[in-house]
Amino acid sequence: VAKDPSINNYEYMGKIPLLNSSTESLPPKVCSYIEECASLCCPKDIYICDGSDTEYEHLLNFLEKNGTISPLPKYENCWLARTNPADVARVEKRTFISTECKRDTIPIPCEGVIGELGNWISPRDMEKAILERFPECMKDRTMYVIPFSMGPVGSPFSKIGIEITDSAYVVCCMRIMTRIGKNVLETLGNDDFVKCLHSIGVPKSDSKIEINSSWPCDPERTIILHRPDKNEIVSYGSGYGGNSLLGKKCFALRIGSTIAKDEGWLAEHMLILAITDPKGRKRYITAAFPSACGKTNLAMLKPTLPGYKIECVGDDIAWMRFDQEGRLRAINPENGFFGVAPGTNCITNPNAMKTIFKNTIFTNVAATSDGGVFWEGMEEEISDDVEITDWRGKKWTRGSKTPAAHPNSRFCTPIQECPVIDPGWEDPAGVPIDVILFGGRRPEGIPLIYQARNWQHGVFIGASMRSEATAAAEYTDKVIMHDPFAMRPFFGYNFGHYLNHWLSMTKVKNAKVPAIFHVNWFRKNADGKYLWPGFGENSRVLDWILRRIDGEDIAVDSTVGLLPKSESFNLENLSKDVNMEELFSLPKSFWEKEVRDIREYFDMQVGDDLPAAIREELELLACNVDKL
Ligand code: PEP
Ligand code: MN
Ligand code: NA
């Protein structure tokens, strides 16, 4: 990036040239944070991002010259990045929260049991980990300073961060995923901000991993650290997604959830959508599903049911708080979609396909010889005569044993490009939430939909969530993992305390808590075939939910919660024959095992930190299952 011509001489930060700004024009707190990071990392120079179009063009140019990205001439301003094959997903085992007291971060698991609800590190060991990695790590690189806002600039919901990084790819993605630049610094003034230090790192000389200059990283020493009491994030060694775009998982969820607990609100791993019914009434729904379980698809769903319209507010994160009238209101703190590419096509998500071919950075997808992209699921969208290059840059043929695109390959695209973006998506007051959905990828036993009897039961349902492992993190087999609230990798503090915080929401003044439901689009029959067609047909589930909260007499209590009364579900013109009986069945042996597994998980992982109210709900479920 060229130096700003308005500044006659480079200003120096210590001995390091500050390319395009003056220390005087920066808020003093920002200035001293930059100074602190610069003296640790010793970059070649420092560049303060202004968020302008010219700056973005310069950075893309630089990345292209460096071989990090290549243009995709089939589309408008789209780029393809290929990462080091050792740097392709979040690394949960190397992600830590640091507090003086371990129990503030994680419940103490049973003796001999490995904790699954986050990793704790002492402040002293965190300091040590930093000092083992960061000194001089930016020696040959520019240090970029990104002032960013999570949430619309100036909204009372919003929070500001400063990300310092030596990756131009990270700057470009942060520009898509958050609001960055000058006006953020102006809004910040000399207030506090969340400190986010990131470096792609420099491997040790004896490293066994091959590192190409197009994607520098240090996979062997990757570490992602959080200090909630200092609102500080430090990330080393990975340039990928949730490890490096620190506004997203690190800030908006981990640090966000700790701020939310202290301030009395909720920071959740949830999509937000608006749904308008045939009578023209519009309601907002949030939904928590684990990574790569279809949040993006649901967030911009094209309903098959006539008369319905869905508009998107966000596909990954919701910040929610009760207003004076006791309405739960939510904002999407992000400005873009960092979505999983494979599986996305004109049938599964037509609106995403209209969103992602403009101003997008693709990462680890395959490329076509006509200058486009390809991934598993796009077979019908490309012509048969194009040649395909896989995500590693090797020639790929149809029928090949390895996937063309990495299963966790992504599109990083501005929300603005979405054709069904909700007009209220940037409302600084947030949108009013009527319904909360929980769900996961459950091939067995869990019905398509059921409703919680009340808030406490709903919190128990969130706490008991499980899902098949996906490619979004390092776990590789298809085991059913516990993933409470879809937050397991993202809790910023002790899960038991998190449950208490959720339970306490009914005590907020005037609070009218939303109705809670559990959905499962992924149930299979004995032959391994999906029982429910999913995608656009999921509008039928939303239709039942809306009629239900309107007070229609369409639910009946069951072992697990409120199920649809027979005939109450709208199946008119359903594209496929569905075995509703099997889809809603509650096999006794399955639920006996489910109760055992949940009990063991609570006992082993949460122990004394499990709220009595949640234990009570588990015993009630156990009792009901006995009577099946
Ligand atoms: C990521 O994995 O990098 C990410 C941003 O999120 P998720 O896993 O929720 O898709
Ligand atoms: Mn996510
Ligand atoms: Na995985």
Active-site residue set:
293
Give mean pLDDT, residues 448-474.
Answer: 92
Give mean pLDDT, residues 494-510.
Answer: 98
Quick one: residue 18, left, alpha or beta (phi over 0 = left, psi -120 to 50 = alpha)?
Answer: beta
* Backbone phi, psi, residue 434, to 5°: -100, -25
Give the DSSP letter string of 543-602. HHHHHHHTT-S-EEE-SSSEEEPTT-S--TT-SS---HHHHH---HHHHHHHHHHHHHHI
CA-nearest residue, atom 5 of ligand 1: 242
CA R_g for the chain: 24
Residue 566: per-residue pLDDT = 87
Q: pLDDT at residue 6 above 70? A: no
Ligand 1 atom closest to the CA of 340, numbered from 1: 10
* Backbone phi, psi, residue 346, to 5°: -70, -15
CA-nearest residue, atom 6 of ligand 1: 242
Query: 472 CB less than 6 Å from ligand 1?
Result: yes
Closest CA to 513 of 286, 254, 357: 286
List pLDDT tens digits, range 340-396: 999 999 999 999 999 999 999 999 999 999 999 999 999 999 999 999 999 999 999
Alpha carbon of 82 to ligand 3 centroid (Å) = 19
List pLDDT tens digits, range 29-87: 999 999 999 999 999 999 999 999 999 999 999 999 999 999 999 999 999 999 999 99
Query: 338 CB less than 6 Å from ligand 1?
Result: yes
Q: Alpha carbon of 586 to those of 240, 246, 519, 601: distances in Å?
A: 41, 42, 14, 21
Contact between 366 and 405 (Cβ < 8 Å): yes
CA-nearest residue, atom 10 of ligand 1: 291
Q: pLDDT at residue 3 above 70? A: no
394-429 burial code (b ≥16 CB/10 A, e <16):
eebeeeeeebbbbbbbbbbbbbebbebbbebbbbee
Residue 575: per-residue pLDDT = 74
List pLDDT tens digits, range 544-560: 999 999 999 999 999 99
Q: pLDDT at residue 471 above 80? A: no
Query: 406 CB less than 6 Å from ligand 1?
Result: no
Give mean pLDDT, residues 512-530.
Answer: 97
Q: How confident is the model at residue 576 (pLDDT cuts 50, 70, 90)?
A: confident
Alpha carbon of 340 to ligand 2 centroid (Å) = 9
Query: 241 CB less than 6 Å from ligand 1?
Result: yes
Alpha carbon of 470 to ligand 3 centroid (Å) = 4
Alpha carbon of 376 to ligand 3 centroid (Å) = 17
pTM value surpassing 0.80: yes
List pLDDT tens digits, range 433-452: 999 999 999 999 999 999 99
CA-nearest residue, atom 4 of ligand 1: 242
Q: Is 81 helix (H, G, I), strand (E, B) or coil?
A: strand
Alpha carbon of 486 to ligand 1 centroid (Å) = 12
Q: Which two tokens stand for residue 570?
A: 């709208």
Query: 291 CB less than 6 Å from ligand 1?
Result: yes
Residue 1: per-residue pLDDT = 62
List pLDDT tens digits, range 162-214: 999 999 999 999 999 999 999 999 999 999 999 999 999 999 999 999 999 99
Half-sphere CA count of 222, side-chain side, radius 13 A = 24
Contact between 539 and 310 (Cβ < 8 Å): yes
Query: 441 CB less than 6 Å from ligand 1?
Result: no
d(CA 227, CA 235): 11
Half-sphere CA count of 214, side-chain side, radius 13 A = 14
Ligand 1 atom closest to the CA of 243, numbered from 1: 3
Q: Which two tokens stand for residue 431?
A: 């949108």
